[in-house]
Amino acid sequence: MAYYDDSNIREMLYKKYIEPTKKTRRHRIGIEIEIPIVNMSGDAVDFEVVHKVTGKFMQRFDMKAEGIDDNGDVYLAVNDTGDSLSYDCSYNNLELSLACGDDLLEIADRFKTYYKALQEFFADYDHALTGMGVNPNKDVNNNIPVPSERYRMLFHHLHSYPKYKEVPMYFHHYPAFGTFASASQVQLDVDYKDLIRTIKAFSMIEPIKALLFSNSVIPDEREDMICVRDMFWENSTHGINPHNIGMYECGFDNVDELLSYLLSTSIYCVMRDGKYVNFEPVSFVEYLKLDRVDGEYYDRVDSRYKKISITPEAGDIDFLRTFKFEDLTYRGTIEFRSCCTQPIADSMTVGAFHLGLQSRLAQLEELLESDTVLYRHGYTAVELRHMFVRRKFPGYVDQDQLYDLITKVTDLAADGLRERGRGEEQLLKPLYDRIAGRTCPGLTMMERLAAGESMEKLIRDYGEI
């Protein structure tokens, strides 16, 4: 194999992640919303129903199959606009991806049109979609992956945690979480000159986002948590190298330091001859210096995993993927990944919040620089995020002052949207309601369940458009 040293690997990462941010940017926004499917009879989701609904949806919106699983069923369909319907990890979890656009209200209208049709189709079979970060029927569903190379590999990788006995970390016991956890993700174009500033500022407001957007709960199991998604990722095999997930615990001030961070991230799979090969996570810089890597692949003929040794190649950089809360992509965008799926009526709050703040970056930096409500008390953003998703406030926090700070941040987002002149600021109204009530969807759900409301009613309410 060719010899790779730190300098030419660094150049590879620069070309993949940094160079795209130097191209002319249109400052568009892309929205991806994962949505739990629920069988309202209380039984497991019927995958045959899912496939029937997929067919009806494709016909209604002139979508073409781009992903077909091993059984011949469609798990990804795309139309000419670039919008897509897919199933993320499993057929229990539907995803609507809205192609990048300039107008968030127009994107919202497309989402509503698709969602209403899907609800109509699912209702014919006593199934429904709902806006929750964890499928409320996870314990009865068939939590199995879409039978395809990528999702089967991911499922296998997450279930391999018992073999990592020497790794100094706690593993939770939800390795199938990809089949029942749902997120709301946003992609924004980012300019090279604003790259580091954007990552740093948005990382610092992650604790605030926990208080506004947390919506993944497991009643009767994790009563203390209003956002279990953080735990799902951090305490899984994805988190063996903590630089691959969550927040940036070490700050950086320039692109060179960001590249050094990227050098430390791990790769855990590649493709060979059309098959995914899974192996123990290893930093990419070390991976390319190895002569051989031992892994496993799924043999469809024998229906089992088999051992294989592969030779690392430069092209394997295409399989280096992190899951950071502020994730730099090869498209020249930052993907914001820390928010749970929201109640469907509030789905665009996540995109509106990020889009508005992006154009108020300097003011956000100034606000955070002068803040003494959250910061300068000995806690990092990472520590604060961990506390706030667990419904805990450190003793020094004055909640009146804290929610005043959250209001100021949200006001900045509203100002940024208002300046765009499209009326997008209206999408932030649910956040002001949450601030006034000092709540979030996950906390509201826990409180309503404690008051005796049924999960069925919550499913219906959180699924209303």
Output the tens digit of pLDDT for each of the chain's 465 residues: 455 778 889 999 999 999 999 988 778 999 999 999 999 999 999 999 999 999 999 999 999 999 999 999 999 999 999 999 999 999 999 999 999 999 999 999 999 999 999 999 999 999 999 999 999 999 999 999 999 999 999 999 999 999 999 888 999 999 999 999 999 999 999 999 999 999 999 999 999 999 999 999 999 898 889 999 999 999 999 999 999 999 998 778 999 999 999 999 999 999 999 999 999 999 999 999 999 999 999 999 999 999 999 999 999 999 999 999 999 999 999 999 999 999 999 999 999 999 999 999 999 999 999 999 999 999 999 999 999 999 888 999 999 999 999 999 999 999 999 999 999 999 999 999 999 999 999 999 999 999 999 999 999 999 999
CA–CA separation, 449 and 436 (whole Å): 21
Q: 59 - beta bridge partners?
A: none
* Domains in the chain, CATH or no CATH each: 26-253+322-462 (3.30.590.20)
Q: What pLDDT sits at residue 1?
A: 44
For the chain, report the end-to-end CA distance as a whole number of angstroms. Answer: 55
Query: How is the beta sheet containing 266-272 ordered, strand by strand?
Result: 266-272, 275-283, 293-299, 304-310
Place of tokens 């002001």: 432
Q: What pLDDT sits at residue 299?
A: 95
CA–CA separation, 190 and 199 (whole Å): 10
Q: What pLDDT sits at residue 3?
A: 57
219 Cβ contact list (under 8 Å, min separation 6):
445, 446, 449, 455
313 Cβ contact list (under 8 Å, min separation 6):
1, 270
In this structure, what token pair is assigned to residue 430? 């649910």
CA–CA separation, 405 and 376 (whole Å): 15
Q: What pLDDT sits at residue 420?
A: 96
What is the sign, positive or negative, of the torsion defined by CA atoms of 60, 64, 69, 71?
positive
What single-letter amino acid sits at 13? L
Question: 47: part of which helix (H) or strand (E)?
Answer: helix 47-60
pTM comes to: 0.96
For residue 163, the tally of other CB atoms under 10 A from its CB is: 10
What single-letter amino acid sits at 102? D
Mapped onto helix, strand or coil, the DSSP state of residue 422 is coil
62 Cβ contact list (under 8 Å, min separation 6):
79, 80
Task: Rounding to the nearest 10 degrees, give the CA dihedral for residues 363, 366, 368, 372.
Answer: -130
Question: 176: part of which helix (H) or strand (E)?
Answer: none
In this structure, what token pair is assigned to residue 403? 């929610």
